[in-house]
Structure 1
Amino acid sequence: MEVLKLDGTAPQPVKIVLERRIKPGTHAAFEQWVQALIKTASGNPALQGSSVFKAGEGDYFILLRFESQGALDAWQALPAVVELLRAGDALATTLEPPAVRTGLETWFTVPGMSPRAVPPKWKMALVTWLALLPQALILGMLIPKTLPRLVAVSLSTALPVAALTWFIMPRLTGLLSRWLYAPAKR
């Protein structure tokens, strides 16, 4: 477990994205390898979540979220993990080097686009604010002032987070994808 940094802030959670393309004839073995990788990661108390996405016939995106960069580094250095990752190389090719993410990048993924592609942070912040502002205004008018403060604050934060995660951001990201992912002008 990591303690506060020197500046008094807590360590930030990180997500690692592993992209793999299955080699011909190894599908069943690769599936078993993915299960073993997730099981090994799940045994680490610093793991906060995992997801596996299949893209097409043989492309996989494996996302693992750890409580901090230090926890991820320690997990990756374990001999069992090193050996497991090496065994995976025999079953699949690596499409991109592992990417580590720390922010809202997972809200900004478009179906068919690699999770590695990430818009600039200022665009992510602007789109998130634009998606959150109307919700905050509407909920401010709808949530009764007579509710206990804890209940009111819980509703005014939980409802927008759920709406952003499952409804608003996937649609907004798709709608604004050309602008979000436009190449930077030099």
Structure 2
Amino acid sequence: MDASSPTDNQTQAAPAAPATTPPCAVTVLIARRVLPAAVVGFEAAMRGMLAAAQEFPGHLGGQVVPPDEAGDSEEPLLCHVVFAFDTEAHLAAWQNSPERAHWLQRVLPHTVGAQQLQRVTGLDYWFAAPDGTTRTAHLCWKVACVTWLGIFPTVLLLFLTVAPLLADWHLVPRLARWLHPWLHAGA
């Protein structure tokens, strides 16, 4: 009998569970065209939608970004809305909810054309393709490595060149003194 084969009294180890990657926060960027006369109604409906989203598990925040252009012409303005959830599952629960469907119906009369929706996880927006095409999500650890490779050399260079010039400034005690009222507020 082969020494590596199991005997009747031995049990084989179960296959190792696949490694799971930690969940990344998901941000949804929405762009809608809104006629100048409908901007106030659109923003009010979107604030209602944001308030409804706050009641959902994993909601990290949201914001209506008003249009940059002046509303003097009759051309539709580009309005943006940002939603963030802590996981894909929590975002999906919100997107499939009757509450969201209700608020979409309230938003629809104020908009022109279809919405443009872009999902971003973690720092994916920084790593998006220049042509704007959608690609599969990057692994969080790869994004972290690229981010670290961009930040570490910069910090190291500043530490080696500028830090010796600032050694006599005692910046941390000064900051603590300057920010004392804020640090000890409500204590």
Q: TM-score range by the shorter chain?
A: 0.5 to 0.7
Q: Distance in 2 between matches of 1:71 and 1:94?
A: 27
* Shift of residue 128, structure 1, vs aligned partner: 6.7
Q: Highest Rg: 1 or 2?
A: 2
* Shift of residue 134, structure 1, vs aligned partner: 1.5
Of 4, 8, 11, which residue of structure 1 is paired with 2:23?
11
Q: Kindly indicate whether the alpha-carbon contact (under 8 Å) linking 1:49 and 1:65 is maintained by their aligned counterparts in 2.
A: yes
Of 71, 74, 78, which residue of structure 2 is paired with 1:59?
78
Letter in 1 for 2:81: I
Count of aligned pairs: 133
Q: Distance in 2 between matches of 1:136 and 1:119?
A: 34
* Shift of residue 97, structure 1, vs aligned partner: 3.2
* Paired position in structure 1 for 2:41: 29
* Paired position in structure 1 for 2:99: 80
Q: Distance in 1 between matches of 2:134 and 2:151?
A: 16
Closer, same or farther: CA 18–105 of 1 in aligned 2, 3 Å: same
Letter in 1 for 2:35: K
Q: Kindly indicate whether the alpha-carbon contact (under 8 Å) linking 1:19 and 1:95 is maintained by their aligned counterparts in 2.
A: no
* Shift of residue 87, structure 1, vs aligned partner: 2.2
Q: Distance in 1 between matches of 2:116 and 2:132?
A: 13
Closer, same or farther: CA 11–125 of 1 in aligned 2, 3 Å: closer
**Any unmatched runs of 5+ in structure 2?**
1-16, 70-76, 165-187
* Shift of residue 61, structure 1, vs aligned partner: 1.3
Structure ranking higher in helix proportion:
1
State the TM-score, normalized to the length of structure 1: 0.56
CA deviations over 1:131-173 (Å, ceiling 9, x no partner): 4422145348959xxxxxxxxxxxxxxxxxxxxxxxxxxxxxx
Q: Kindly indicate whether the alpha-carbon contact (under 8 Å) linking 1:19 and 1:94 is maintained by their aligned counterparts in 2.
A: no
* Shift of residue 46, structure 1, vs aligned partner: 0.6
Closer, same or farther: CA 105–24 of 1 in aligned 2, 3 Å: same
Identity %: 20
In the alignment, structure 1 residue 101 sits paired with structure 2 residue 120: yes
Q: Kindly indicate whether the alpha-carbon contact (under 8 Å) linking 1:13 and 1:65 is maintained by their aligned counterparts in 2.
A: yes
* Shift of residue 105, structure 1, vs aligned partner: 3.9
Q: Say what the alpha-carbon RMSD is for the aligned residues.
A: 3.8
In the alignment, structure 1 residue 134 sits paired with structure 2 residue 154: yes
* Shift of residue 41, structure 1, vs aligned partner: 1.5
**Any unmatched runs of 5+ in structure 1?**
110-115, 144-186
Q: Distance in 2 between matches of 1:127 and 1:119?
A: 20
* Shift of residue 8, structure 1, vs aligned partner: 3.1
